[in-house]
Amino acid sequence: MTDPRPSDPKAAARAIDAVRRGWPVAVGGLACLAIETADDAGLAAFDPDGRADILIGAGRAATLKLANQIEAADPERPVRVARAKWIDLDVATALADPGRDLATPLKGPFRAAPLGEAEAAAAVLRLARIAGVLPAYFVREGGADTVVTPTDIAAHEDAARLAIATRARLPVSAAEDAEIVAFRSAEGGDVHVALIVGRPDGNPPLVRLHSECLTGDVLGSLKCDCGPQLHAALAEIAGARWGILLYLRQEGRGIGLINKLRAYQLQDQGFDTVDANTRLGFAIDARDFGVAARMLALLGQDKVRLLTNNPAKVAGLEVAGIAVVERVPHALPANPFNQAYLATKRDRTGHQF
């Protein structure tokens, strides 16, 4: 039977592009204009009467004293804020970006409005995360040139659509006998990579799921443990003679580089890594480890020994059909800049150190 609502990869790609360029998108019956990329002319064309409401995540809404007007819920849940005369583009921008709270104390009171279409509202906030912009929109009932459905947006991130694109020998300093395999989805999402070290020897491979961290992996950031974990993982896998490192393009636990740097800005103001994410209106961890499970399945592996301190990675693989026969701890020495970050992982996100 054919899917009555097949997804359209072009629609998601066009919508991501539109959000990044400051063009409106329509999801269901909601017309939405991303606040971060809107300009005065775009806003005037989208909303000539100044009547469009604001759509943000519940985590952000909670800091706007809207908490008592919304159900306590996950930080990504959409909240619609009724437009008031004094909410212009500048105020909306301050509303969208918690990094400005110290410099721009917010007015108020803000009033929550009925969501309209909850599924469409949630999907358009997910679209913001995928596009790498702040999850905040001007929103009104109506249409737009760019139309996208929640199904299109979900399909864009659907791990099941990943396939192997190509593979090649890649000797690396940790292991000369290595092969790189690249994965891509027809939906045009991120390209993920596996580095296979050695040859299958009949035992489950030693596997590391490494989420991209430009600051840590490339620049040697001391704020996190990613760089040292990456290199230690390669060394351990090489030592085990057979294993796989998955390099997952899940920068910033899935919120993207720019929004991760916004979370860092909030950390400079004293919030920890968990609260920084939720104050932006994102989940604490937006990653889908089903991507890793799909990659392992495509490589013919259904049992692994997993290098991690993060129980969510174990659970994420298991739920997607990969048996984790052993969790191998992967903790590295702290430094003065990442001590608090590691303590937050231990105390608030269940990491086992």
Ligand X SMILES: Nc1nc2c(ncn2[C@@H]2O[C@H](COP(=O)(O)OP(=O)(O)OP(=O)(O)O)[C@@H](O)[C@H]2O)c(=O)[nH]1
What are the catalytic residues?
285, 287
Q: Give the number of residues in contact with ligand X, rule: CB under 6 A.
A: 23
Distance CA 55, CA 47 (A): 14
Does residue 263 bind ligand X (CB under 6 A)?
A: yes
Choices 46-54, 176-184, 200-208, 218-226; region in contact with Zn ion by CB under 5 A: 218-226
Nearer to Zn ion, 12 or 213 (CB): 213
Draw the binding track, 221-240, toward ligand X (x: CB under 6 A; -: no contact).
Answer: ---x-x--x-----------
Nearer to Zn ion, 14 or 253 (CB): 253
Does residue 338 bind ligand X (CB under 6 A)?
A: no
Nearer to Zn ion, 35 or 284 (CB): 284
Does residue 260 bind ligand X (CB under 6 A)?
A: yes
Give the number of other CB atoms < 10 A from CB of residue 121: 22
Does residue 146 bind ligand X (CB under 6 A)?
A: no
Is residue 65 marked as binding?
no
CB of 259 vs Zn ion, minimal distance in Å: 14
Draw the binding track, 175-214, toward Zn ion (x: CB under 5 A; -: no contact).
Answer: --------------------------------------x-
- Cis before 333 (ω within 30): no
Tell me which of 24, 189, 198, 216 binds Zn ion, using CB under 5 A: 216
Is residue 187 marked as binding?
no
Closest Cα to residue 208, out of 296, 282, 119, 121?
A: 296
CB of 256 vs ligand X, minimal distance in Å: 9
Does residue 252 bind ligand X (CB under 6 A)?
A: yes
Is residue 308 marked as binding?
yes
Does residue 246 bind ligand X (CB under 6 A)?
A: no
Nearer to Zn ion, 263 or 317 (CB): 263
Choices 23-31, 52-60, 151-159, 306-314; region in contact with ligand X by CB under 6 A: 306-314
Tell me which of 293, 310, 322, 324 binds ligand X, using CB under 6 A: 310
Question: Could you write out the three-class secondary structure of the chain?
Answer: CCCCCCCCHHHHHHHHHHHHHCCCEEECCEEEEECCCCCHHHHHHHCCCCCCEEEEEHHHHHCCCCHHHCCCCCCCCEEEECCCCCCCHHHHHHHHCHHHCCCCCCCCCCCEECCCCHHHHHHHHHHHHHHCCCCEEEEEECCCCEEECHHHHHHHCCHHHEEEEEEEECCECCECCEEEEEEEECCCCCCEEEEEECCCCCCCCEEEEEECCHHHHHCCCCCCCHHHHHHHHHHHHHHHCCEEEEEECCHHHHCCHHHHHHHHHHHHCCCCHHHHHHHHCCCCCCCCCHHHHHHHHHCCCCEEEEECCCHHHHHHHHHCCCEEEEEECCCCCCCCCCHHHHHHHHHHCCCCC
Please state the residue numbers annotated as binding site. 208-213, 224, 226, 229, 251-253, 273, 308, 313
Binding footprint of ligand X on the chain (CB under 6 A): 210-213, 224, 226, 229, 250-253, 255, 260, 263, 273, 277, 308-310, 313, 330, 345, 351
Q: Which residues here bind Zn ion, judged by CB under 5 A?
A: 213, 216, 224, 226
